[in-house]
Structure 1
Amino acid sequence: MTCNGCRTSTRLDVDFSMAFQPIYDADPGRVWGYEALVRGVSGEGAYEILSRVTPEQMYRFDQDCRVKAIELAARLFPAGEELMLSINFMPNAVYEPAACLRATLRAAERYSFPTSSIMFEFTENEEVTNTAHLQNIIAEYRRHHFTTAIDDFGAGHAGLGLLVDFQPDLIKIDMKLVRGIDTSPARRAVVTGVVDIARELGITVLAEGVETEAEFLALRAADVRLFQGYWVARPAFEELPGIRTELIRQNAELAGPSVGPSHPTPA
């Protein structure tokens, strides 16, 4: 089967690679996985690269990003460690779920990277224009044992409606709710509510954009255990950056244990 995107997509003429940013699990005190972030080959940020991708190239760009992320992760991830690779995907660039996964599956096989270690995130702030289509994408991804996640939850288009319609394995609380949560009763109330809802639905919660120790401790008190942000580690181009292991472990012990699974289990 060949989807329309495979037949009509324009060849990509934008050079890019990936940086990796750790996702930290505070309870066992270890790295849970890494998100692959688009970068230019000279270090340009994701926005600069995306601004050079035309609508006609979007499908090819989405496909090439997946392959590049898997290729690099297979080379960089330490052997024997169960680490997740988080890849952003663009629902509106997926024409036919099964056909559009072929390059991903070929790359996973070529580089001996398990599909159960891959998490796909809805791309930042992309509006879902066809609910049934996205439900079909998620169903197909789960059939191949991929983990699914909603990025930027609580901001833009990623809200409670998506949670009800799709019930992903994981949600990433947007940095707008994280920023200053230690001094904002309103943010603490919202995040605590989201964590409670997610727990009822069996969904793992990750806080992204964590930049201070105070934010980390406030989120730990709200029973969040997965963290991503500059306070944990900055992204590193084509390598796995070190993390603030000792400090984070000390703060995790100070905050006390939280509840919920440390690893999302695909349906």
Structure 2
Amino acid sequence: MDCNNCSVTQLRFEFKMEGVAGSSFSPEVFNHLKRRGLPVEEKAGHLLVGEDGAKELWDFCLHHLKEERISFRLSQQDWKPLSSIEGVFTMGWIDEVMAKELLTCHYQPIVNASEEIFAYELLSRFHREDGSTIYPNEIFSAAKSRGRLYALDRICRMTAVKHAAVLKGAKAFINFIPTSIYSPEFCLRSTTDLAQQLGMDPEQLVFEVVETEKVDDLEHLRKILAFYKKKGFQYALDDVGEGYSTIEMLADLKPQYMKLDMQFVHGVAGDTAKQQTALKFLRKALEVGSIPLAEGIETRQDFEWLKQQGYQLFQGYYFGKPAASPIEEGQWTKRV
């Protein structure tokens, strides 16, 4: 059974008053919501309501209370000023997008040094019911505003696993956000169960840590990766650059793949500073037993330079942009 964080259930708002010790909402506010037929609960001087109740309370506060004294939060997140709550209501469209699963995946090829397809990265693409595109910055901003990052990450993972099932022999790199998983055993169970139901070889799926550089809780990440490893899946660290932690920590995580951040790939063939970073990364990857992957390749020159240094896998527009379907075997040709 899914938890509330991973399901698109009605939001639960919590309100509190600031500024005066022991301050709380007056009985009039509580009774006003009751008279409106809206479920409301009072706990330790705070009011807990659903979204309809939050809209009614917001309107009441604007007319009868000092707005700057009131804060709200969603699902135990940080407290925010009441002045920002309108943005939460405005982003309500994301609930319908996720509830109706208005998304698909595009496939971007990952090739080996011989320019043969080794894998595809599966990238989520959202759309409205009329077919118009919703861009990633829109969808993630809306999800963050409404406390839907858990649910968004889950639906992206599940959709990617379904799309990976059509691949023949090639691996599938699937993104995930570590901070959206609070319990690997619980949060990832539906993903692993789906892969099993589809009869997929676990080693075909490579779960890729999004924004590796921004991971703060390494112990939490270690537990997630240990869970994937236990289930037979592989994993990759994404966007690794020159400032990424120590070699000892990377050795402890033991990723099967490490992806060099594209900012160090663009123009590397003619940039000595980027070359130094790329070589340092390469040594680091090989030392911990990881396969080095350079992403963001757009020119033949950069590909050739990285290949000559010892990079094994490559990804970027030079080899192919994300597409609605994977390139069929026999249709793939080397770039020149």
- Give, in whole Å, the separation in 1 of the partners of 2:179 and 2:217: 8
**1:47-86 residue pairs with structure 2 within 5 A?**
47-54=137-144, 56-75=147-166, 77-78=167-168, 82-86=169-173
Aligned partner (choices 242, 246, 267) of residue 334 of structure 2: 246
Q: Which has the higher contact order (CA 8 A, sep 6+)?
A: 1
Distance 1:187 1:126, change over 3 A: closer
1:128 is the counterpart of 2:207 = no
Give the CA deviation at 1:165: 4.9
- Give, in whole Å, the separation in 1 of the partners of 2:299 and 2:332: 12
Give the CA deviation at 1:213: 0.4
Hey, what does 1:40 align to over in structure 2? 126
Deviation string 1:187-227 (CA, Å, 9 cap, x unpaired) is 11221122122112111100000000011011111111200
- Give, in whole Å, the separation in 2 of the partners of 1:53 and 1:240: 28
Moved over 6 A (4+): none
Hey, what does 1:13 align to over in structure 2? 96
Q: Percent identity?
A: 32
- Give, in whole Å, the separation in 2 of the partners of 1:206 and 1:189: 16
Distance 1:221 1:173, change over 3 A: same
Deviation string 1:12-56 (CA, Å, 9 cap, x unpaired) is 4333221110110123x4211111111123444322322221352
Aligned partner (choices 291, 306, 309) of residue 219 of structure 1: 306
Does the CA contact (< 8 Å) of 1:233 and 1:244 recur in 2?
A: no
Aligned partner (choices 180, 184, 189) of residue 267 of structure 2: 180
Q: What amino acid is aligned across from residue 49 of structure 1 in structure 2?
A: I
Give the CA deviation at 1:10: 4.8
Hey, what does 1:258 align to over in structure 2? none
Does the CA contact (< 8 Å) of 1:38 and 1:45 recur in 2?
A: no
Deviation string 1:46-95 (CA, Å, 9 cap, x unpaired) is 223222213521111111111101112213x13xxx21111111111111
**1:148-187 residue pairs with structure 2 within 5 A?**
148-154=235-241, 158-160=244-246, 163-187=250-274
Q: Provide the secondary structure at the position in 2 that maps to 1:236.
A: coil
Aligned partner (choices 23, 45, 61) of residue 110 of structure 2: 23
Bigger Rg over Cα: 2
TM-score of the pair, normalised by structure 2? 0.65
Give the CA deviation at 1:124: 2.8
Distance 1:43 1:110, change over 3 A: farther
**Structure 2: tracts of 5 or more residues without a match:** 9-94
- Give, in whole Å, the separation in 2 of the partners of 1:8 and 1:213: 45
Give the CA deviation at 1:168: 1.3
Root-mean-square deviation (CA, aligned residues, Å) is 2.3
- Give, in whole Å, the separation in 2 of the partners of 1:244 and 1:213: 17
